[in-house]
Structure 1
């Protein structure tokens, strides 16, 4: 389906295919208080971090990760001050083996009262599985919200979910409506907002229109993902200018990968543009199985350090997060990708050395 169709669809607040259409009703939105719809900061100088390490960070690892390890990672992150944690995904283990066991993880993790827990739900089958889990555990609130995802290009969407962008929006509209009716808020992701590994540079207008379609169907926030990590302050600013021309900045988040070492500076660029929610991953865990050559997410430790001593407030105990990042990196037998974590470890080792006598 051509891009203009997506644009018109977003303007009407509908998700459309050639045979049918879906309209999000105002009544659905009214079932949840508006105050619960946003991770947006309560004041303009607060930056929210969505910790995506346990899901987006681990999904591209080659080694099998036991659910108990994921539970411990989530618990460590919560105790280290992470306030929004992406705990897992209800995707088929056939396609993403590392996400097997999400139901077990949700039941066994410590659900801290001041932490919001999110799971990725890619389709109606995943939502059915989540609802079944919630029905089996009616006295334990296992999740606070779900996330749905699409892409800015048909080529990436087809490689990822075997659907065009318009087809994926149609399917996600049903997932979003059912989730909202259940009283569970929905966050949206748009992948490849700068460059697509299959079709090249992405027109910012496509990102703008797909973002609007997700917001119009009921997502309280849309995370803009530089999945391949090719973005620079110039290209990120250009993309944000287009997206913000029709979408409220308070409903946008930034999701940057660090392939070219631009993750932190792109995050700062997004904050300078008015965005107040950033996705990041402990120790820079991650990648993208459908994006050849892409490296991990920008590291949580690096993001927190970047805004230290600034006018912004950001949650997280940096020293504890550094410990957590090295703990999971050592278990995975991988390098810790956080430059800040490496510097802090080097400082610690230096401080432990006996002082030279003069």
Structure 2
């Protein structure tokens, strides 16, 4: 149905040129194929991810269904049976809504596809929402710009050129948020840590320890050793030293140092201490615990107990168990820790 009656600023010709049957079918098929990708490749993800993906897929299916129904209605109006003036005037509006719904469905399909691909590449680790949200915003901006250009003949390039000064002013105003955003994106590219890793962040302003809970556009969120939430701006993390205790999946070295009198037989102290360390369940057998004597002072020798653990969060509890076990083992063998000695002299008695 082609009619010369058109709305002044909404061209039916442009709508007909953009809203076509083939692209509509491709968008709907792409949206529904996300279920196939999920079923075939992501069967082994965690229960939480299954719930999240099914929610996203259900939402996408609803949007695809709405888009399909609107597209069927729009293309049906081309039949001669609907040759009425009011239908002719309303048809471009319906086409515009079909186009907008198709754009929303397209962006949501890209979002679900990005989520599934990230889950596929990170079966164990969590996926930061920052990457998904950033990609979705960029896709929405490009899609929106394309719709404006195709339907309203709106050229974005002159607008960008004339707003250069405003962009500089705006950039200075949002310097910190943008710095955090790009620092977060850079960290996701370099991957110094994944969600669920135990890390220590050592910066100029302090030191933070915890398990990575989330990476947002502004900050990295840790769950501290006391179950507190630690929020560190991404730019601070990018300028700090990051120690990752989980990424290599190797045991973590920890140590406790104590002093024994120099009169004790050091090999006996070494053997007793190693035996005490081997009796602690949370200390791994390989590498085996070791005791090294690395410092000597007046009347004492420093013994450093090196041991390895699997759980970073348990280091304080294990350290407590090591001290208790070593002291008890020394006492059981009639040995003791060095006692600090202070020598006092009375200068007033001198002639």
TM-score normalised to the size of structure 2?
A: 0.23
Structure with the higher helix share, 1 or 2: 2
